[in-house]
Structure 1
Amino acid sequence: MTELLNKLREHFPEEDLEFRVGATNTDKTMGLALAYVQARAIQNRLDEVLGVENWKVAYKEIQGGFLCTLSIRINNEWISKEDGASTTDYESIKGGISSAFKRVASSGFGIGRYLYNARNSWFPIKPQGKGFVFATTPKLELNDKEPKKEKLPDKTEDKPLVLDFGKYKGYTLEEIYKKDISYIKYLRDKSRDVNIIKTCERLLEGK
């Protein structure tokens, strides 16, 4: 089992990664790059390592999103894990299903989990539709065993972060705290952005 799980958790080539703008500076010129493995690449990995007959997925619609159950068969025993995601701004149903699948692959079986060790890197962004996309393709950089402290670009220092996702897109964390403290707790527990986590902790501690 360990050998199969290690193969599932191997790093992906950069062409199998995609990046989402996780937060923007107040000038909306720079965005925090969050890296994810494409759903297609995860499906290919499962096919190659386990075989098409040894994994399956099921989805359940929940309020505001989808719950995905990913099951894999090892030594003739099925092992299932669950995780969920909210619908997305673009192609909300398809995006929500895809996000739930990618999330359970990572949280349940460690597929692509190494991306949580990516450095907090900021890149130029440009408007697209109701949100933002990167003006240039971000480059993935993983932290060393002793992560170096990353600094925000000069224009972002001492300025509040503005979310570029979810139901409070366009709000600062301070504004969200005044409106919905439960969402701040959610971000503290689920966010992959160290700056967002630390700010949420500071707000919840009343500092």
Structure 2
Amino acid sequence: MEKIRLLKAEEVECRVQQVTSKNGAVLLLYKDARVDMRILDETFGAMNWQRHHGRDNANCIISVWDEDKKQWIEKEDTGTESQTEAAKGLASDSFKRAGFNWGIGRELYDAPFIFVPLAESEVTKNSKGKNTTYTKFKVAEMEYSEEKRQFVKLKIVDNKEVVRFELGKKVAAPKAPAESVSSNTEVKPIKLEYVKFTGTQCLIQSNNGKWYRVEDLPLKQLETIINDERFAAGYSAIRATINAKAVGAK
């Protein structure tokens, strides 16, 4: 009889089990029932396995045809109801549990404890007043050692493809984006030694310590100071004045 392969990263999903008071999410890894169907088809052939449900979908039996023994081999397990669509969820859960008996996704039982630090902005309250998060997570990379019976690689990212968990490494919560300064925010003026602004007027300090409007300075002097880093703050005004004077000189 063919051997069941290990799950691929894209076949494993993440569910937030709990959001703690310390702004962290505890994640669980799980498989979808469609993964079991796909692997059964792939391993034994679509016509060589079957499923039966009993006790109002609480139990599921997966049968696989054994060509050597010329008989059906059965493995059974019991599921639990989901919070939504109880009957359908019960059938799906019992089927997945029976799949575990056949070895489909059994490595998930050896999954490490997955704790993902959350930014304050990612934590909110649900209708019962408990911490929750709307951030979604998925498995980006996964590798399991059958010999050691443990995960040797596991990387989880969020819906923005940012790494949030990596086995054996410490991953911090994402930093909150810097707040933008609105047009109504009062910005304190910066004291400049050689350039200052009064409204939209740019003033340049000359060697004699006096302040002059940039448009009152001669073109040759402007062409000299524009390359002087001491006047870098007034570069745009100086360049505009040079251009204006150059056009006027023609």
Kept in 1: contact 2:59–2:76 (CA 8 A):
yes
What is the rounded CA distance, in whole Å, between the counterparts of 2:143 and 2:71 in structure 1?
A: 34
The structure richer in strand per residue is 2
Summarize deviations over 1:88-137 as a string: whole Å, max 9, x none. Answer: 1122221121111111111x211110111111102357667779566131
Task: Answer yes or no: is 1:121 the counterpart of 2:137.
Answer: no
For residues 133 and 141 of structure 1, do their structure 2 counterparts lie closer, same or farther at Cα, with a shift above 3 Å needed?
farther
Match of 1:16 in 2: 11
Task: Answer yes or no: is 1:105 the counterpart of 2:99.
Answer: yes
Kept in 2: contact 1:84–1:100 (CA 8 A):
yes
The structure richer in helix per residue is 1
Task: Answer yes or no: is 1:137 the counterpart of 2:137.
Answer: yes
What is the rounded CA distance, in whole Å, between the counterparts of 2:45 and 2:94 in structure 1?
A: 22
**Structure 1: which 5+ runs fail to align?**
154-207
Write the mapping of 1:1-207 to structure 2, written as runs, cut at 5 A: 1=1, 4=2, 6=3, 8=4, 10-25=5-20, 27=21, 29-61=23-55, 66-75=58-67, 76-106=70-100, 108-123=101-116, 124=118, 135-139=135-139, 145=148
Match of 1:187 in 2: none
Q: Greater relative contact order: 1 or 2 (C-alpha under 8 angstroms, separation 6 or more)?
A: 1
| TM-score, normalisation: structure 2 | 0.48
| TM-score, normalisation: structure 1 | 0.56
What is the rounded CA distance, in whole Å, between the counterparts of 2:92 and 2:58 in structure 1?
A: 9
Q: Percent same amino acid among aligned pairs?
A: 28
Calculate the aligned-residue CA RMSD, in Å. 3.5
Number of matched pairs:
145
Give 1 or 2 for the bigger CA radius of gyration. Answer: 2
